[in-house]
Amino acid sequence: MRKYVGLIHKEDASDYGVSFPDLPGVVTAGASLGEACELAEQALDFHVEGLIDDGETVPDPTSLEKVMAGADGREIATIMVPLRTR
């Protein structure tokens, strides 16, 4: 099972946001960290299903080390999100 790095962001007075460096534009948010992680799995699966349906290439996951080397320091944590689609 492939896993993609999800970057968790949190600003004052905001929900927990999750973005995927390998999939620009795929973002989600939740009121709690647990909810954000759950919604991240759903967002990843939904987006990849769309790529497959459109005949587009699904990018390979980038390693956590490589992602963190390019991070801008605004992230509060990282998660590894499993891809359950095909």
Q: Determine the pLDDT at residue 23.
A: 96
65-to-33, 56, 62 alpha-carbon distances in Å: 22, 26, 8
CA 71 – CA 86 distance, rounded (Å): 29
Partner residues linked to 78 by β-bridges: 7
Which domains does the chain carry?
A: 3-82 (3.30.160.250)
Query: Is pLDDT of 86 > 70?
Result: no
For the stretch 27-85, pLDDT in tens is 999 999 999 999 999 999 999 999 999 999 999 999 998 988 877 766 668 888 988 87
